[in-house]
Amino acid sequence: MTDWDVNLFFREATLRLCSSLDIKTALKRCYEYIRQFIPVVQMSLHIKDSDLNVLQFVALAGADPPEGYEQVVPLPEAGRMEWEAFLKSEEVVRIVDQPTPKWVFRESLERLGLKGDVSLMTMVLKLEGNQIGSLGLIADGSNRYTDEHARLLRLLHEPFAIAMANALKHQEVVRFKQMLADDNRYLLNELRSVSGEEIVGSDFGLQAVMKMVEQVSPLDSPVLLLGETGTGKEVIANAIHSASPRKEGPFIKVNCGAIPETLLDSELFGHEKGAFTGSIAQKRGRFERADKGTIFLDEIGELPLQAQVRLLHVLQNKQIERVGGTRSIPVDIRVISATHRNLEEMVATGRFREDLWFRLNVFPIIIPPLRQRKGDIPALVHHFIHRKSMELKLEERPALAPGAVNRLINYDWPGNVRELENTVERALIHHRHGPLSFEMLLPPVVSEYCGAVRHSSEDRPLASLKEINARHIRQALEKAGGKINGPGGAAQILNIHPNTLRKRMDKLGIAYGRKSWRRDSVD
């Protein structure tokens, strides 16, 4: 070959090797060109694991191996030292005489579909002094390779080494991506196993809500969830996402009231490296992370006015700009927002932008408070007992005491479902083995206090703490029939020591003994 032919060979072989990110496709194209100048029926890129003494194939081109061939081929122990010496030497290309080289089993060749006498030529691939793999060429017959063939192959050392390094990095990225996807699937299954996919109350108190969820889920329309704190707005938002075509995408929650105003732009839209003091790396914001999925803007009424302007821009243009960035980044998101505030009133007083309100209020869903759907309480109680028992690692789920559910139904639940959930958890902590009666967790003092607070807004006099405590103790005595000590006594009902109860009764002027108590209660 002339120098011009050699340069053309290098250029054309390299172009084919760099023509695809898929190393198998690139190797096949390169093989089809090289075979015009070098005898070869099979060409492979592989890695040798010295510890296991095996050859792992990264890509294979040429003669197709038999169906089900192994990508990891064991090598003979007899050739280990010779192979290691070759790798450590300055030699780049080695021609191996046949019929039977010591460091390759004929059985290994037959696994690749190669029978009879063959010739081999191997090139060690090194990059920046590090050995990253090797290239093998196989031709039919003995003594097929010459020094000229070795010289041509040596010209392609650097392109093959770079291609091999890129292929290995790509495989590692794919592996990590698969691990991340597997982790996401695992975490999603874990969340579903804990919280359950079925929404408690969907057939009763939330029936109208779930019908609206069913209507809007298949669409990309914005949804506004309205309801008191603790009614389960996040659960409904998650249900909309899970029933939508975006369910395989991310579900990103943003608590608009929990992010400091100085960090709001960075958290929502991300920032570039060096955008401000302390930004040592690029960071993607919540909107960018929600791409191809759903972003849930909880407590949207807490957003400052300046942030409302930027949010409106994102909703209108479907684009964001990172803090310190100069280019717009398109985002494909579905927006679900929620608030316990009266946004219409906030618009009237100038605390919420009217144009943003119109953007968000496309499909409002009002979630009723628990006091308006008390028929859901029994199912919710059993659901929370089951879930919290698992979280607290209880061996058995405690049973409910007679009248416990009625006691819960008679309470107004100003904290809604969240308060009920916390009440069940406290009951499980106090009575790990049951039965759960909720007597001490929903004492009349709570109702009295809540009632006193409500009455205070109407300028009604507030009951003193002494009066409330005395009334509470009398109710316990009434339930116990005047009995203080022992099973079923007032002390047990109030979960305090009998002597402590007697001291409090002394201070409050409540007489001891069943007769005294009956006389005192009659008076």
String of DSSP letters for 184-246? HHHHHHHHHHHH-SSPTTTTTTTHHHHHHHHHHTTS---EEEE--TTS-HHHHHHHHHHTSTT
Phi, psi (deg, nearest 5) at residue 255? -90, 100
Residue 241: inside a domain: yes
Residues forming a β-bridge with 293: 333
What is the model's pLDDT at position 178?
Answer: 66
Whether residues 266 and 282 fall in one domain: yes
Q: What length does the chain have?
A: 523
96, 50: one domain: yes
346 and 474 fall within a common domain: no
User: Are 127 and 251 members of one domain?
Assistant: no
Tell me the CA distances in angstroms from 404 to 27, 30, 381, 415, one per residue in order: 73, 77, 10, 19
- Does residue 306 share a domain with residue 211? yes
Burial (CB count <10 Å: 0-12, 13-18, 19+), residue 325? middle
Residue 191 falls within a domain, yes or no? no
- Say if residue 342 is in the same domain as residue 425: no
- The reply to whether 380 falls in a domain is yes
Note the pLDDT tens digit of each residue in 83-96: 666 666 667 788 87
378 and 362 belong to one structural domain? no
Q: Which domain holds residue 343?
A: 205-368
The residue ranges of the chain whose pLDDT is under 50 are: 98-105, 190, 192-197, 443-458, 460, 515, 517-523
User: Of 395, 417, 442, which residue is a domain's last?
Assistant: 442
Boundary residue ending a domain (313, 343, 368): 368
Last residue of some domain: 368, 386, 421?
368
Flag whether the pTM goes above 0.75.
no
Cβ atoms 232, 210 nearer than 8 A: no
pLDDT of residue 86: 61
Angle between helices 498-508 and 465-480 (to 10 degrees): 130
Q: Identify the pLDDT of residue 246.
A: 92
pLDDT value of residue 35: 92
Verify that 355 and 378 share a domain, yes or no. no
Query: How far apart (Å, rounded) are the C-alpha atoms in residues 242 and 197?
Result: 9
CATH code for the domain of 408: 1.10.8.60
Tokens found for residue 458: 């109407």
One domain, residues 385 and 280: no
SS3 62: strand
273 plus 158 within the same structural domain: no
Is residue 29 a part of any domain in this protein?
yes
For residue 160, what is the enclosing H or E element?
Answer: helix 157-195
The predicted pLDDT at position 75 comes to: 64
- What tokens were used for 440? 């001490």
Supply the pLDDT for residue 448.
45
Q: Taking phi first (over 0 means left), then psi (-120 to 50 degrees means alpha), and beta for anything else, what does residue 133 get?
A: left
| φ, ψ for residue 18, nearest 5 deg | -100, 10
Is 196 within the bounds of a domain? no
349 shares a domain with 270: yes
Q: Is residue 11 part of a domain?
A: yes
Q: What is the pLDDT of residues 210-222, one digit of tens each?
A: 999 999 999 999 9
Confirm whether 181 is domain-assigned.
no
CATH number at residue 349: 3.40.50.300
My answer on whether 303 and 251 are in the same domain is yes
**Residue 234 CA: distances (Å) to CA of 191, 199, 255, 296:** 14, 12, 11, 8
pLDDT at 294: 93
8 A C-beta contact, residue 116 and residue 94: no
- Split into its structural domains, the chain has a count of 4
